[in-house]
Amino acid sequence: MMNTTPAATQLTGKAARRILDLRKREGKPGLALRLAVDSGGCSGFRYNFSLDENPAEGDMKIEKDGALLVIDNISQAFLGGAVIDYVSELSGEGFQVQNPNTDAACGCGASFSPKNQ
């Protein structure tokens, strides 16, 4: 029988450290990073990062080194096997999604087109 369980979304150590830095800077020990997939962007869907003090009941919770990433129920379907990282480059810094579920992405990496299933 084939295993149809989706791959787990992962949070890198750099992303976890950045979440902990944001939590400390805001003075809110329960602060989590929320990742949502919204319609829009130049490729059809876009990633939306925000800070969240009150994760919802159905949210997927990913914890690493004391940091917390939460993903809403609908967005989970687009993010199986994705790796959430924090990058700092000459062009800027921010959270980045390495998503195996995309056919195409815009140049900035903020929007994507999902694979046909």
Residue 116 lies in a domain: no
Residue 61 lies in a domain: yes
Task: Name residue 96's amino acid.
Answer: Q
What global pTM score does this model have? 0.82
In the predicted model, is pLDDT for residue 82 greater than 90? yes
Name 110's Cβ contacts closer than 8 Å, sequence gap at least 6. 41, 46, 47
Coarse DSSP helix, strand, coil percentages of the chain, rounded to the nearest 5 percent: 15, 45, 40
Instruction: Please indicate whether residue 40 or residue 19 has the higher confidence score (pLDDT).
Output: 19
For 38-75, write each residue's pLDDT tens digit: 887 666 788 899 999 998 888 999 999 999 999 999 89
Domain region containing 23: 10-104
Residue 57 lies in a domain: yes
Residue 36 lies in a domain: yes
Domain holding 65: CATH number?
Answer: 2.60.300.12
* Total domains present in the chain: 1
Residue 113 lies in a domain: no
Residue 65 lies in a domain: yes
